[in-house]
Structures are given as C-alpha cells and as structure tokens.
Amino acid sequence: MWDFGQRVPDTMGTPSNETIAMRSLMIQEEAGKLQLANSNAERLDAITNLLVVVVGAAADAGISPETLEAHLVDVLKANHAKKWTSQQLLEKPKKWSASAIQWSDCYAVRDKNGKIRKPPGWTPPDPQRHIDAQRRMEV
C-alpha cells in the first residue's frame, strides 16, 4: 500500500468520505469488469482486482490483516451453517418462492434469485468480537 502513497492508519477508524467514495467506485469498476469478462483469464483478473481493492479498503479503515482473516473465517463458517433440516424445510413459509437442493442429510434453500436462505435459528457472524480483539492489541 505504501508504494502508492496510501496511508495505513495504526489504529482502526473511519476513513474519510472521499476515501469511502473512491473505494466504492473502484469496487463497482472491478465488479463491472467481472460482469463483462469473456474468458477465465478476464474473470480471474477482475476477481483478483476486487480482492485487492477490498483489502485496500480494510487497510484504509485500519483493519489489520489478522482481523480481516479472522472475520472471514467466521463468515465462511456462518455461510456453511445455512443448511436446512428436512423438518425446517417442511415448515418453511409457503409464500416463499424457493427451491431446495438436497445433499447428504440436509438441504440448501435458494430464493428465486438463487441466493441461499438462512434457516430458522441461524446465527450471523459477530464482527464486533474481532474489532474488540484488534483494539485490545492496539493499546
């Protein structure tokens, strides 16, 4: 980051509105390249550039690589926990326009747009715990 003059704060904080706007535009630009990609090479390049811009946004906010990685692990675990039992599937609201895909002893329920729905009782990850851990290390 220093190669391009990006100031990386020593502690976690809120970037300026200008920095947030710049990062948002950069993310949109790279996401647009992903949408227009016509080859695996173009897709790989767009995805990698998205990662670089997002990691840079974390650096702008003073989020350490360790904090980012720890929360990513929690998010992946929480996403993996979006499995439905057969009983939960039977009890899902009838108004839902959703399809279920079975694997082993559980189901993935997708909405009409293909997004996986959270089952009853699903617990989201807790980013605050990682923020608190980083702040304890900063003092």
With a cut of 60, say whether residue 131 has pLDDT above it. yes
Amino acid, single-letter form, for residue 85: T
CA–CA dist 19, 26 (Å, integer): 11
Phi/psi zone of residue 121: left (φ > 0), alpha (ψ -120 to 50 degrees), beta? left
Domain ranges in the chain are: 1-79, 82-120
Mean pLDDT of 81-104: 79
Can you tell me the distance from the alpha carbon of 58 to that of 112, in angstroms, rounded to the nearest whole number? 32
Task: For residue 87, count other CB atoms closer than 10 A to its CB.
Answer: 8
pTM of the entire predicted model: 0.81
Q: Identify the pLDDT of residue 3.
A: 58
